[in-house]
A and B are shown apart, each in its own frame.
Chain A
Amino acid sequence: MGATSNATAAQTSLPVEPDAGTRRLNTAKALQEAIGSQMEQDDSVFVMGEDVAAYGGIFSSTTGLLEKFGPDRVIDTPISESAFIGLGIGAAVEGMRPIVELMFVDFFGVCMDQIYNHMAKIHFESGGNVRVPMVLMAAVGGGYSDGAQHSQTLWGTFAHLPGMKLVVPSNPYDAKGLMTAAIRSDDPVVYMFHKGVMGLAWMAKNKRSIGAVPEEDYVVPIGRAKVVREGTDVSIVTLSLSVHHSLDVAEKLAGEGISVEVLDLRSLVPLDREAVIATAAKTGRVVVVDEDYESFGLSGEIAATITEHDPTLLRHFSRVCVPDVPIPYARELEYAVLPTAARIEAAIRTAVTA
């Protein structure tokens, strides 16, 4: 497993969350840049998945990489997720650093055994003797009427299962820094990008899908949340596309004198519990905004984290999630269950009365 040691050593030398500078990219480009840069520096890194080569990834996660690195390192696969994700595991065990794309996280059903019984457990079962330095990258989320099998986030499901780290960037800066950290990590990292944060030309987008990104390599440490807006009245704990909506709501309500803090979790595994507790302690009111199913998931974990720390910390806790229903196709129904800005705003207005 010689290839792993170089990259690990290199990791420590990269800047941690440097100044963003002025160059602006969309999230997809920032992600492509992180992958490309690591591929340039480390021959053991390769990309594999369905339609990642000529197509450049259905959601543009790998655009341009085939042209730069050729078909030996940017590899289209058959529709055989168990086989190629399992192949990624085997290659990682032998010291390569695969980035394997599962086109939509919803497809995890056909290959989850490889992911949670194998990728996630090898390091533990081997008593720490075998590492799986692999990135499993997947598109998540809804909002464009793709129906119940193509619109889920499912991060709570993955985060529930021990042994894989899980990052979910909401913006270009974090997308690059977290991908760089994920590739260089000696643990398996699941990297979920919401289609709606990528800045795709063919999908509605928030202005926050474009932002300043340093040209040089850097890492956003896995497991560190970020306060993306300071506030004093109520805290939104959230991630991914919901960060965009939460910031929109916070900006709007600031005009009415309601001061909203927004915490972007960025990583779910490990979860930055300190940051969660800190914002809860600061405002005493927490609204979790989570585009995952409500029950048995992230929102409950946030409540437990705060309550276990100090049951008296909160005056208010509520959640804006997808109620426990598959994501409907019809727009009217889908937008009734997604955590929209309108639902977030209503939750904040209720929270501040507590």
Chain B
Amino acid sequence: MRMETTEAVTGLRTEQRLGLLRQMILIRTFEEAILREYHADKSPGFDIGKGLVPGEMHLSAGQEPVAAGLCAHLETGDALTATHRPHHLAIAKGMDLRSLAGEIFGRESGLGHGRGGHMHLFDPSIHFSCSGIVAEGFPAALGQAFAFQRAGTNSVAAAVAGEGAANAGPFHESLNLAALWKLPVIFVIEDNDWGISVARDASTAVPSNAVRAAGYGMPGIRVEGNDVEAVHAAAGEAVARARAGGGPSLIEVHTLRLWGHFEGDAQGYRPELAGVPDKDPIPAYRQQLGDAGLLSDADAAAMEGEARTRVEDAVEHAKASPTPNPAEALKYVFVEGE
């Protein structure tokens, strides 16, 4: 019933729906692999600096519907700026899994040759970037949109960040500027209810960031239910508007942080913790497509198998890649020869 309603609204073809599921499964498979690798060698006791994947690790499990629904509308030439929690968006934007895994493992084969790490993924071939400073990606997305506009292309820029980031100054400055100059930007807020340990209600004075859009002169919509097809529909409209010169839009998606803020977060502050796994959007969507007769168990298993093959290849490749040479620690501060 719900499926039919959505279908009526979104008009998605079967392949598109299977594509959304496939994308979400790929992302989840990747995040599960990183989760496994991250914790594999941090014992006894948890030491954040230890192991093949050290440092803070912010995984995106539960937020796949945002990435899949949005990126289905983005071309290679469109830009995307993300946050400290970037893997889902990087993968959905089309990042090469080996280059992504290589960076997470801090290897020469990584996108930044191990200089950046998982919060600092820069892939110019797909116009993807992210940053560990909350709300830092909004202004850069404006600039990319500005460049596209000046170049006379119809490329767009999407800027994705959490509901916590929507209380930071750069978000508000960017909304105004994007609307003022009619820049082809899609602002996407991932409301996962939490900014680390601070509940959304304790940080945000309005019930929905979508209402803030009006204050800056752009359309705003809130997508409930972590529903990938609803995200797909909202993003489709916003991207089309931006491409057609209609200026920026804001989409807030009520999504889910399935795991901790970062790995090692015991989440004692989170009262709803026990019920969180039941809200996992992937089994729900899989069930939905199965019930609609679009997907058999064997089809789903094939999707999972394919994802596993790709992800394990990326992880194995990363592990087999050379670590950076300490003698080159000062490299890349400036352009060579400048």
Q: How far is the CB of B321 from chain A (nearest CB, A)?
A: 11
Structural contact, A329 and B45, CB atoms closer than 8 A = no
Residue in B closest to A323 when the chains form the complex, CB atoms:
B330
Asked if A332 CB lies within 8 Å of chain B CBs, one says yes
Structural contact, A204 and B49, CB atoms closer than 8 A = yes
Asked if B203 CB lies within 8 Å of chain A CBs, one says yes
Asked if B117 CB lies within 8 Å of chain A CBs, one says yes
Q: How far is the CB of A210 from chain B (nearest CB, A)?
A: 16
Q: How far is the CB of B330 from chain A (nearest CB, A)?
A: 5
The CB with the most chain A CB atoms within 10 A, among B107, B117, B167, is that of: B117
Given A204-B47, A332-B326, CB of A110 within 8 Å of CB of B116: no
Q: How far is the CA of A88 from the CA of B190 in the complex (A)?
A: 29
Residue in A closest to B329 when the chains form the complex, CB atoms:
A336
A:296-336 near B, CB below 8 Å: 323-326, 328-333, 335-336
Flag B178-217 by CB within 8 Å of A: 1 or 0 each.
Answer: 0000000000000000011110001110000000000000
Q: How far is the CA of A307 from the CA of B208 in the complex (A)?
A: 60
Structural contact, A145 and B54, CB atoms closer than 8 A = yes
Q: How far is the CA of A107 from the CA of B202 in the complex (A)?
A: 21
Structural contact, B48 and A202, CB atoms closer than 8 A = yes
Of B129-137, B274-282, B285-293, the one with at least 4 CB within 8 A of chain A: B129-137
Flag B101-131 by CB within 8 Å of A: 1 or 0 each.
Answer: 0000011000010111101100000000001
For the complex, count residues of B whose C-beta is within 8 A of A.
48
Asked if A172 CB lies within 8 Å of chain B CBs, one says no
Asked if B170 CB lies within 8 Å of chain A CBs, one says yes
What are the residues of chain A within 8 A of B50 when measuring CB–CB?
Answer: 204
Asked if A255 CB lies within 8 Å of chain B CBs, one says no
Q: How far is the CA of A203 from the CA of B167 in the complex (A)?
A: 30
- Interface secondary structure of B, over-half rule: loop
Q: How far is the CA of A28 from the CA of B329 in the complex (A)?
A: 32
Q: Per a CB cutoff under 8 Å, which of A81, A150, A204, A332 touches B132?
A: A150
- Interface secondary structure of A, over-half rule: loop
Q: How far is the CA of A173 from the CA of B83 in the complex (A)?
A: 38
Structural contact, A336 and B167, CB atoms closer than 8 A = no
Q: Per a CB cutoff under 8 Å, which of B54, B132, B135 touches A331?
A: B54
The CB with the most chain B CB atoms within 10 A, among A77, A145, A148, is that of: A145
For the complex, count residues of A whose C-beta is within 8 A of B.
43
Flag B51-64 by CB within 8 Å of A: 1 or 0 each.
Answer: 00011100000000
The 26 listed contacts between A and B (C-beta, < 8 Å) are: A53-B197, A54-B268, A76-B198, A78-B167, A78-B204, A79-B195, A79-B203, A80-B169, A107-B134, A143-B49, A144-B55, A146-B117, A148-B116, A150-B56, A202-B46, A325-B333, A329-B55, A329-B117, A330-B107, A330-B324, A331-B49, A332-B326, A333-B106, A333-B324, A335-B326, A337-B329
Additional A-B contacts beyond A51-B197, A110-B135 (17; CB < 8 A): A55-B269, A79-B165, A80-B167, A143-B49, A144-B54, A145-B117, A148-B120, A149-B119, A202-B48, A203-B48, A323-B329, A324-B333, A325-B333, A329-B106, A330-B106, A332-B114, A337-B330
The 4 closest A-B pairs by CB, nearest first: A329-B117, A144-B49, A330-B114, A330-B106
